[in-house]
């Protein structure tokens, strides 16, 4: 019945003392005020102003509205200010979920970038494997997920329907092979043929990575003998270092969890997992989410922020260089 515009007008009339100057102060024309008041009056059913001579005076009801206008408009302004802060990146919260190996590199850099660019935006972070993070996204428990999908495999798509989400490519993470330093193929100049490891004992990572291993090996014509399974890639490399087997290991993880007793080598056929940021069609337009997305993209795309660790033989890596790669 009564709207904010009407209250604004009544307040302006009370403050200015005339329709004309109220109109000027609000940026309206004089007749606009005149008929605005008339409309209001016939809505509330009682005169709001008393026009006597060439002056206008508020009636009791008019004064009531002018008085309430302050409260209402202040509350409205507060609401506007709050959303304006959210829209202007002076406030906001992004709940990010990422898988473990991203949490060590990509995510911290991106969090720092967002914090530097938009101090008012706060980010919370939860570590979760892609299926869980996507479920959280769907359930509205997080706004942005960093997930990965093995290119050419339907591993990810089988578990969660990515179509309902919006994905942004961050980087291609090449899948390498981890060998004990004393392994016969450890000093091979060329990439290691996967088939050459057909008879090796295999150590598998997370379930989805295991799926990828089986898929890849199947294409290479063999079924790997999986001796150990663990989601902890530090453990994986420990097992490899102890000579208990070989493992496929993504580049990003190799850089993160570096073990000097392990040799990381490229492998043929080459394969990669695609690391993506995932959000919803709506959330991608929320400024804070967009800013986080941007920061992730920047980190993933900038060699300075996230240096590409060349897949090198262990003997070409010294501790100092490794330290550089740890954040």
Partner DNA sequence: GGGCAACCATAATGCAGCGTTATAGGCCAG
Partner DNA sequence: CTGGCCTATAACGCTGCATTATGGTTGCCC
User: What does the binding site for its own copies look like in residue numbers (CB under 8 A)?
Assistant: 1-5, 7, 44-47, 49-53, 57, 59-61, 64-65, 68-69, 71-72, 75-76, 78-80, 82-84, 86-87, 92-93, 137-138, 140, 164, 280-283, 285-288
**Other Cβ atoms within 10 Å of 185 Cβ, number:** 18
Q: Which does 30 bind (CB under 5 to 8 A by kind): DNA, its own copies, none?
A: DNA
Q: Which of residues 51-70 bind DNA (CB under 7 A)?
A: 51-56
DSSP assignment of 261-272, as one string? TEEEE-EES--E
Specify whether the CB–CB gap between 6 and 73 falls below 8 A.
no
User: By C-beta, is 140 or 269 nearer to its own copies?
Assistant: 140
CB 70 → its own copies: shortest distance, Å? 9
E-state strands within the chain? 49-52, 55-58, 93-98, 122-127, 144-150, 166-180, 192-193, 201-204, 225-229, 246-250, 262-265, 267-268, 272-279
User: By C-beta, is 138 or 272 nearer to its own copies?
Assistant: 138
Q: Which does 37 bind (CB under 5 to 8 A by kind): DNA, its own copies, none?
A: DNA
Q: Which residues pair with 144 in a beta bridge?
A: 96
User: By C-beta, is 16 or 127 nearer to DNA?
Assistant: 16
- Residue 237 to residue 254: CA distance in whole angstroms: 9
CB 139 → its own copies: shortest distance, Å? 9
Q: How many residues bind DNA (CB under 7 A)?
A: 27
Q: Which does 21 bind (CB under 5 to 8 A by kind): DNA, its own copies, none?
A: DNA
3-state class (DSSP) for residue 294: helix
CB 72 → DNA: shortest distance, Å? 15
Residue 3 binds DNA, judged by CB under 7 A: yes
Give 36's contacts (C-beta < 8 A, 6+ positions apart): 5, 6, 9, 28
Q: Which residues pair with 167 in a beta bridge?
A: 278
User: By C-beta, is 29 or 124 nearer to DNA?
Assistant: 29
**Other Cβ atoms within 10 Å of 20 Cβ, number:** 14
Segment interacting with DNA, rule: CB under 7 A, options 27-35, 113-121, 204-212, 247-255 = 27-35
User: By C-beta, is 79 or 164 nearer to DNA?
Assistant: 164
- The tokens describing 239, both together, are 């097992």
Residue 163 binds DNA, judged by CB under 7 A: yes
Segment interacting with DNA, rule: CB under 7 A, options 29-37, 103-111, 116-124, 196-204 = 29-37
Q: Before 68, cis peptide (omega within 30)?
A: no
User: By C-beta, is 30 or 223 nearer to DNA?
Assistant: 30
């Amino acid at each position: 019945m009564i709207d904010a515009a009407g209250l604004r007008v009544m307040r302006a009339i009370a403050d200015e003392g005339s329709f004309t100057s109220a109109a000027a102060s609000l940026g309206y024309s004089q007749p606009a005020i005149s008929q605005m008041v008339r409309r209001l009056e016939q809505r509330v059913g009682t005169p709001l102003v008393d026009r006597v001579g060439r002056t206008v005076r508020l009636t009791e009801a008019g004064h009531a509205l002018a008085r309430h206008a302050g409260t209402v408009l202040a509350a409205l302004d507060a609401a506007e200010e709050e959303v304006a802060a959210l829209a202007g990146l002076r406030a906001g919260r992004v709940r990010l979920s990422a898988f473990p190996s991203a949490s060590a590199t990509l995510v911290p850099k991106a969090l720092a970038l967002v914090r530097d660019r938009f101090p008012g935006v706060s980010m919370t972070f939860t570590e979760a494997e892609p299926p869980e993070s996507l479920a959280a996204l769907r359930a509205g428990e997080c706004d942005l997920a960093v997930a990965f999908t093995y290119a050419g495999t339907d591993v990810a798509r089988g578990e969660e329907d990515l179509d309902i989400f919006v994905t942004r490519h961050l980087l291609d993470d090449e899948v390498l092979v981890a060998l004990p330093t004393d392994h016969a193929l450890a000093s091979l100049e060329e990439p290691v043929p996967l088939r050459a490891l057909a008879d090796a004992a295999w150590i598998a990572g997370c379930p989805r990575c295991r799926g990828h291993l089986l898929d890849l090996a199947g294409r290479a014509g063999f079924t790997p003998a999986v001796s150990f399974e663990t989601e902890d890639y530090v453990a994986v490399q420990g097992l490899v270092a102890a000579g208990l087997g070989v493992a496929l290991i993504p580049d990003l993880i190799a850089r993160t969890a570096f073990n000097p007793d392990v040799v990381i080598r490229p492998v043929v056929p080459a394969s990669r997992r695609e690391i993506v940021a995932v959000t919803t069609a709506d959330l991608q337009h929320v400024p804070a989410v967009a800013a986080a997305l941007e920061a992730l993209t920047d980190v993933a795309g900038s060699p300075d922020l996230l240096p590409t660790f060349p897949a090198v033989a262990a003997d070409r890596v010294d501790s100092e260089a490794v330290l550089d790669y740890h954040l």
